[in-house]
Amino acid sequence: MTPRTFAPAASWTHKLESEQKQEHDFSNVLSEFGYAVLRQDLMMMKFCECELKRMFREKKPTKRRRR
């Protein structure tokens, strides 16, 4: 058996700007929530729900351009 080397995914090593990181994390939690609903995994659904609420509370208002 040959030893395998571990290489982290690019998203683990790439430093994202804070807004990009928030969007990335939100997308991941939302995807996990969807999978939990399909599996009817109540514990994971509750965890994702709490994380989404926390993200919403911590969301800093972003400056948006007016058109």
Domain interval for residue 53: 19-57
Inside any domain, residue 36: yes
- Total residues belonging to the chain: 67
The three-class DSSP label of residue 42 is helix
Residue 48 lies in a domain: yes
Does 52 map to a domain? yes
Strand boundaries in 1-67, DSSP class E: none
47: Cβ–Cβ under 8 A, 6 or more apart, which residues?
Answer: none
Q: Is residue 32 part of a domain?
A: yes
- The model scores a pTM over 0.75: no
48-66: burial string, b at 16+ Cβ within 10 Å, e else: beebeeeeeeeeeeeeeee
Number of structural domains in the chain: 1
pLDDT computed for residue 4 by the predictor: 58
3-56 tens-digit pLDDT: 556 555 555 555 657 888 888 888 999 999 999 999 999 999 999 999 999 988
The reply to whether 26 falls in a domain is yes
